[in-house]
Amino acid sequence: MDPKMLKELNKQIQEETYSSYIYLAMATDLEATGYKGLATWMHVQAREEKIHADIFLNYILERGDRAELLAIEKPPSSWLSPLEIFRTAYAHEQHITGRINHIVKVARDLNDNATLNMLQWFVEEQVEEEANASEAVQQLEIVGDDGRGKLMIDREMGTRVFAVPASAPYYPKPGQATGA
């Protein structure tokens, strides 16, 4: 593929891996502060992000190109509150949406229809990703300092279970699909 496109896709592996890493850091902080349910939710999110990174990697390989893995930055290790965590997650998802839109533009400019096709899944996925994070922010804002409300949200969000996305493009390659 065009080197410009390859560079963007390599960068996206890094972005998605960082997403997985920062959500793992959030899960760790939530666990340490007693929010076991929210931690579970974040662990599931971190696993989904790893899949996003794998999709970009698999796609590069499928096109016969060589992927380059870039350095991953250290994420923060603690936040002020669960609300702060989910606000950060929401802002992060908005950033990722911007990245996807940018890659779509590059693919359009290069008339790279195969990449455009693959990116469509991410365009749709980002709508859901932003909605999930934004809903959590709203719920945490509503309960504010109410301990019981926070416990209820923690229990409810802790029911999230990991599932390999059924319709993900170029996924899985042998060794990548892992069950709940």
Give the residues lining the site for ligand OFO (CB under 6 A): 16, 19, 49, 52, 93, 96, 129
DSSP string, 114-174: HHHHHHHHHHHHHHHHHHHHHHHHHHHHHHTT-HHHHHHHHHHHTT------TT-TT-PPT
In this structure, the chain runs to a length of 180
Alpha carbon 179 to its chain's center: 18
State which residue, 2 or 97, has the beta carbon closest to ligand OFO.
97
> CB 35 → ligand OFO: shortest distance, Å?
20
Cα–Cα distance measured from residue 147 to residue 156, given in angstroms and rounded to the nearest whole number: 14
* Residue keyed to tokens 């504010």: 144
Buried b / exposed e over 2-24, threshold 16 CB at 10 Å, is eeebbebbbbbbbbbbbbbbbbb
State which residue, 15 or 154, has the beta carbon closest to ligand OFO.
15
> CB 93 → ligand OFO: shortest distance, Å?
5
Using Cβ positions, the residue closest to ligand OFO within the complex turns out to be 19
State which residue, 35 or 56, has the beta carbon closest to ligand OFO.
56
> CB 85 → ligand OFO: shortest distance, Å?
14
State which residue, 19 or 88, has the beta carbon closest to ligand OFO.
19
State which residue, 102 or 155, has the beta carbon closest to ligand OFO.
102
> CB 19 → ligand OFO: shortest distance, Å?
4
> CB 111 → ligand OFO: shortest distance, Å?
25
